[in-house]
Structure 1
């Protein structure tokens, strides 16, 4: 699991998301599960669990992709300790976290992804990159 914002935002893989002891020990109170190919996770009632299944290609439902971005952005803005996880923690979760940081801090998606990549390896699928970039361009003021 990689900490992106101190005590506030982490990126992980499916195994990290299933490690309930680690999730609770870190003080994580919300988990965004993006892994379409993994089964849902059962958490205690006090954990907010959002399953928003995405793929690494360019065929995601726009509303699901947009919900993932805005939910993570809202949790960051509300200082809600959040884990964003996908199967390997290398494409979908870094891309969604970068997109959410771009929304919260109003800077380009590419810069946000560089910030996320500084915390560990990333391999964002080009189709997903393009989908997020196009969606973020539509949400910019004046667009």
Structure 2
């Protein structure tokens, strides 16, 4: 799990399953983005949002928009949030960059440049193209 901003972490599937650590860090919300991962059971006071995304082509635009919009809203209210996918290097950083582009008022590519300086990444070009098409 890697902090990329105060109150915002990017992680992998193992990080998302580590409920004790999530609670200990004071994380209030978890966005789980990997279609292939099973849902995680959290205590009732943790907001858990599962957006089943594919690490490539074939994502439903409304699911991509919902993931980005939900994260944007959580960032805007300063809710400590973990964004996780299977490996923690493609879907999670891509959705964080897309949300940052909206909250910071910068282009998607500029937001991605900010993110890649802070966290490991290997974003699927096909996924990034889909995110760009979703606006």
TM, length-normalised to structure 2: 0.97
Q: Identify the residue that residue 133 of structure 1 maps to in structure 2.
A: 132
Query: 1: CA distance between counterparts of 2:83 and 2:74?
Result: 11
Partner of 1:112 in structure 2? 111
CA shift, 1:120, in A, is 2.1
**Contact kept in structure 1, 2:30 and 2:82, CA below 8 Å:** yes
- What do the CA deviations read for 1:50-90 (whole angstroms, capped 9, x no partner)? 01000111210111000000000000001111100000001
Q: What is the match of residue 100 of structure 1?
A: 99
Separation in 1 of the partners of 2:8 and 2:55?
21
Cα deviation code 1:31-65 (max 9, x no counterpart): 00001111100000000000100011121011100
Tell me if structure 1 keeps the 8 A contact 2:12–2:88.
yes
For 2:44 and 2:32, the matched residues in 1 are separated by 16
Deviations 1:93-117 (A, max 9, x none): 0000000000111101111111111
Residue of structure 1 in register with 2:27 after alignment: 28
Q: Which runs of 5+ in 1 are unaligned?
A: 137-143
Residue 140 of structure 1: aligned partner = none
Q: TM-score, normalised by structure 1?
A: 0.92
Gaps of 5+ in 2: none
Runs of 4+ in 1 over 6 A off after TM superposition: none
Q: How many residues align?
A: 135
- 1:139 corresponds to which residue? none
CA RMSD in angstroms comes to 0.8
